[in-house]
Structure 1
Amino acid sequence: METWAIFTGDIVKSSAMSRAELDAIFARLDDASEALTAWQGQPARMTRFRGDGWQMAVAPTFTFRAALVLRATVRRCGKTADTRFGIGIGPAHFAGGDLSRADGAALVSSGHALDNTPRARRMHAPDAPLALRTALPLADRIAGGWTRRQADVAYYMLAPEPPVQAELARQFDLTQQSVQGHVEAAGIDELREVCEVLEARKTAF
């Protein structure tokens, strides 16, 4: 079996959402899955289950970056929209195009991580390497404070190959100065530095 980071998540306070609102979030998650697939050169296998639950398969190297982008993905749908997820890193075997028939230690660990996520946390990877376990709570606190527009910017600027700010400004009908302000307020440059450090430590996974 190959080693994967399996994300198992659900949507926070989904019972208070309309079906259209929840479907909009999952449409965004589908888009994020396509982006992750492009990063890693292998399918992220986005799978929806139990109405508000989801899973994805991420190359371990991109675990931290993916966690941030997936938080941004959901926050883009509204100022109170959020997701929580557990991450399990280990062997995983896939059967089919999604994760409904997948098995392996990573899936078991991911489900346990979600079930045991501390109340105040949204991202939990208790069995991950120390560097990732240390970085996630800090990133969790930062991402929890993102506005909807900051999440828009974070979604694109935290990609391995982000667009230039002028391009993003045109996309969102903002000034480049405004985009830079959102980058600074959302801590994007600092988070990118952590992504790069963790991705350079491939042997940690």
Structure 2
Amino acid sequence: METWAIFTGDIVKSSAMGRAELDAVFARLEDAAEALTTWQGQSSRMTRFRGDGWQMAVAPKFTLRAALVLRAAVRRCGKTADTRFGIGIGEAHFAGDDLARADGAALVRSGHALDAMPRARRMHAPDATLALRAALPLADRIATGWTKRQADVAYYMLAPEPPVQAELAQRFGLTQQSVQGHVDAAGIDELREVCDVLEEQKTTQ
């Protein structure tokens, strides 16, 4: 079995959403899943279950970066849109692209992490390395405060190979100075630095 970071999550306050609104959130998650597939060179196996639940397989080195991009992807749907997820890192065996058919320690740990999520948190990885466990709550607090526009910018700028700011400015009809302002307000440069450091280290114990 290979080592993976399995994300098991659900959509916060999904019961207050209409079907179209929830489907829009999952469309954003699907977009993020495709981006992650490109980063890691293997399918992220995005799987939706129980209406508002989802799972994804991420290369362990990208755990923090993926967590932030997934939070940004959902927040792009609106300032109150959010998702929470437990992360389990360990062995995983896949039977196709449907994670409902997968097994291994990473999936078990991921489910337990979601069930044991502290009330004020949105991201939880109790079995990760000390460095990741230290970084995740701080990243969680920053991501929780993102506005919709900051999430738009974070979604692209937190990728391993982000676009130039002029390209984002054109995409969103903003000035380059405004894009830089969102980068600063969202803490993107600092978050990228932490992601880069973690990606140079082993992310399993």
Q: Once the two structures are aligned, what percentage of the paired residues are identical?
A: 86
Partner-residue secondary structure (3-state), 2:54: strand
Task: Please list, as runs of the form range in 1=range in 2, the aligned pairs for 1:47-62 lying within 5 A after superposition.
Answer: 47-62=47-62
State the SS of the aligned residue for 1:195: helix
Mapped partners of 1:22, 1:138: distance in 2 = 27
Q: CA deviation at 1:202?
A: 2.8
Structure 1 gaps, min length 5: none
The SS at the match of 1:100 is helix
* Equivalence for 2:92: 92
Task: Give the TM-score of the pair, scaled to structure 1.
Answer: 0.99
Tell me the CA shift for residue 10 of structure 1: 0.1
- The 1:104/1:204 distance shift into structure 2, 3 A limit, reads closer
SS of the residue corresponding to residue 202 of structure 1 reads coil
Aligned mates of 2:203, 2:186 — CA distance in 1: 29
Quote the offset at 1:97 in angstroms: 1.6
CA-CA distance at 1:100 after TM superposition:
1.4
- Confirm or deny that 1:129 pairs with 2:103: no
Structure 2: runs of 5 or more not aligned = none
Provide Cα deviations, 1:118-138, integer angstroms capped at 9, x if missing partner: 000000000100000000000
SS of the residue aligned with 2:152?
helix
Give the equivalent residue in structure 2 for 1:73.
Answer: 73
Report the Cα distance in structure 2 between the residues aligned to 1:202 and 1:120, rounded to whole angstroms.
Answer: 28
- List structure 1 runs of 4+ shifted beyond 4 angstroms: none
RMSD: 0.8
Cα 1:69–1:78 shift into 2, 3 Å = same
SS in 2 for 1:94: coil
**Deviation by residue 1:9-34 (Cα, 9 ceiling, x = unmatched):** 00000000000000000011010000
How many residues are paired up?
205
Q: Does residue 140 of structure 2 align to residue 140 of structure 1?
A: yes
State how 1:96-107 maps to structure 2 within 5 Å: 96-107=96-107
TM-score (norm 2): 0.99
Residue 25 of structure 1 aligns with which residue? 25
